[in-house]
Structure 1
Amino acid sequence: MEPIKIFRRMRLIAGEAENLVRPVRLTNNPIAFLDTSMYSENCGDYVIMHYANLQMSKILPDSEQILHIPTHGWDESVENARRDVRKIACGTNLLPWDYEKDHALATPRTHLGNYAHSVCLLAVGMREVQGQMRDFTPYTARFLRFLFDPDCLHSVRDEHTKQRLHAIGVDNVLNTACVTMWNLTEEFCESISRDRHDEVLTTITEYAQDPRQDKYMIETLLRNYDRVHLWIQSVDDRPYLESLDIDDSRLHLIDHSFEAFDSFVKQHSESIDYFGTRLHAGIHCLNHGIRSMIVSVDNRASDIARDTNLPVMPREDLQSSMQSWIDHSDPVRIILPTDNIRKWKGQFRSLTN
């Protein structure tokens, strides 16, 4: 079916069926993960799914079958998704302001009704456009209400996303912070080292380039640490790094895979710092007790930091603040919305078939 015909059909279904398609009783066995890592070239999505899987395995230990359906690409599992299966949308920027221009979530092309009122959000956020957040379009608002399960509590990663959903009439929303952060309790954060180490792990972000600031960041790390490791989180990070005209022979590059990154972090958790632009790489390091600073390049890190005190430094502040952090960092004091996390987890006891 041609894209324009797909969107016309989606308009018809989402516009009319929002009120006409009645919710069905959803099952948790099987349950489906709308998996952001499938077909993704950005390994940050694998970090998100790593923690989503860990949490959901504890929340639904008796679920005998977990289905994985892609969000980034269409395949038969999208088309054939059962209407009565609850679909957990896991993390990342899945909520665009204009769904017709930014089809962020793969949905069935023919059997769109199979997604009706069956999607439950887990730490999902709204994406910005050219550095700004916009209101949902009227069509997007109707389409999201068509997708969302009206009987569950939806988890979003920041207050801004929660407020935007409230504005379109989706009130059953909790700000839970990102699922990758749920283990960063006060007690755990007290164990995170404040001492500077001899080696550092860094990242850059090819889709949010600032060559002057990114080059300054890497060269400052090279001056201050005995060895600098750089994880290629996205396939396009490598050519961007090459464009910065840095002597990369002084850098130790970590392969583009979650497995390589996770293995490196586990092996070096007591000997490295983290200072880089990739949000979930930094959060993964914090989860392993690594002294970390995330450099914000878009709304995601700054929105989460505003709510949780996640250690974040705006990229424009690098030249005034970076050296100070390298020399001496404050204690990590993450503020988690523990009551909201508990409510979101606990609802699955009653949302059973």
Structure 2
Amino acid sequence: MIVHADPSIGSDNTGDAIISHYVKVELKKLFPQDHIVSIPTQTMTVSRRLNSLLSNARGVVVGGSNLLSGRYPRIRQWANMCVFAPHRKKVHLIGCGWHSYEKRNLPLNTLLLRAALDKGGVHSVRDSYTKVKLAENGIRSWNTGCPTMWGLSGSYSYKSESTVGRIIVTLTHYRKDVARDTALLAYVRSLGREIYFWPQSPQDTVYLKELCGADSTIRVLGEKISCVEDVADSSAIYVGTRLHGAIHLLNRSVPVFVVGIDNRAIEIAHDTGLPLIDIWNPPSGLPIETAIDITMPREEIAAWRVTIRKHIDG
């Protein structure tokens, strides 16, 4: 049995569900004979059953999402970190990231991280910044990028202006910037295509209404991944702030333009070439016809896969 510490359990964020989907696909490939059991990371759940699962697991894989921080317990993305401490020898990260740009750790934070993550563990992180932050806490890792991107590689062509019929848009309610997000919506409206808003939490839709009221030109989709897949056809492009929604669409060959609003998109773009768009200086009209070149750390991904199999299988 392999335990997957899953950030999507108890989360209303579709981005967490996207990450969880790709992580589970990877775990099933790595350990095809094992039962994969999911447990939460975002709740303070402590129970005899949870401890039993951790005790009986051959390996515990945590990820992905931005679970790590130098401000724990003030920032509790990995809310039940202490539950993993007795089992740290078999706890491994997959594609985890640092919560935000941070200058220093809170007191005792290094001890808390080391209690949950053995420095000899097989830890995969999503970007170079996270790798540096873990190293500052005495924990070695591979920068493999986010597992949502492990299937991406090479060049992805943009569409010509004449073939673009619809634009999928996202906003992020917990990173509000009214001026920036108003500019984003104004830019998308200026392109004169069908607009579909893909909320990734109920609060995203509330925020959209705060910005533009009941705008009949913007069609609001459901929050499920399947809802956007129904409109992500060959005429669609994506412009928005939601990172993993963008990556999921890129996996479906939809050209994406991400508005970087925090360290996640900025650092991943720096490492992989994921295209960002400066909403304060957007292109005139639709993006030009050029290719998206995605570069993934194939050697690191392969090394992590081999090492975690050896570590868990013995």
In the superposition, the TM-score normalised over structure 2's length comes to 0.91
The aligned counterpart of 2:253 is: 289
The aligned counterpart of 2:72 is: 99
Contact 2:240 2:257 (8 Å CA) reproduced: yes
The aligned counterpart of 1:185 is: 153
The aligned counterpart of 2:176 is: 209
Q: Quick one: which amino acid aligns to residue 152 of structure 2?
A: L
Q: Runs ≥4 in structure 1, deviation > 4 angstroms?
A: none
Contact 1:107 1:115 (8 Å CA) reproduced: no
CA distance in 2, matches of 1:95, 1:337: 21
Of the three residues 107, 117, 123, the one matched with 1:154 is 123
The aligned counterpart of 2:17 is: 46
The aligned counterpart of 2:284 is: 323
Q: Quick one: which amino acid aligns to residue 260 of structure 2?
A: S
Contact 1:185 1:336 (8 Å CA) reproduced: yes
Are 1:270 and 2:210 an aligned pair?
no
User: What are structure 1's unaligned runs of at least 5 residues?
Assistant: 1-29
Give the count of matched residue pairs: 308
Q: Quick one: which amino acid aligns to residue 224 of structure 1?
A: L
Are 1:36 and 2:7 an aligned pair?
yes
> Closer, same or farther in 2 for the Cα pair 1:78/1:140, shift >3 Å?
farther
Are 1:195 and 2:195 an aligned pair?
no
CA distance in 2, matches of 1:147, 1:92: 16
CA distance in 2, matches of 1:237, 1:92: 19
Cα drift, residue 221 of structure 1: 1.3
Identity of aligned residues (%): 28
Contact 1:136 1:164 (8 Å CA) reproduced: no
The SS at the match of 1:333 is strand
The SS at the match of 1:349 is helix
Of the three residues 143, 153, 156, the one matched with 1:175 is 143
Query: RMSD of the TM alignment (CA)?
Result: 2.0
Contact 1:232 1:255 (8 Å CA) reproduced: yes
Q: Rg bigger for which structure?
A: 1
The aligned counterpart of 1:81 is: 53
The aligned counterpart of 1:16 is: none
Contact 2:84 2:91 (8 Å CA) reproduced: no
Of the three residues 40, 54, 66, the one matched with 2:36 is 66
Q: Quick one: which amino acid aligns to residue 66 of structure 2?
A: N
The SS at the match of 1:252 is strand
The SS at the match of 1:51 is helix
> Closer, same or farther in 2 for the Cα pair 1:112/1:219, shift >3 Å?
closer
Contact 1:200 1:221 (8 Å CA) reproduced: yes
CA distance in 2, matches of 1:268, 1:331: 19
> Closer, same or farther in 2 for the Cα pair 1:68/1:239, shift >3 Å?
same
The aligned counterpart of 2:204 is: 237
Contact 2:4 2:39 (8 Å CA) reproduced: yes
Q: Quick one: which amino acid aligns to residue 168 of structure 2?
A: L
Cα drift, residue 92 of structure 1: 0.9
Contact 2:54 2:60 (8 Å CA) reproduced: no
In the superposition, the TM-score normalised over structure 1's length comes to 0.82
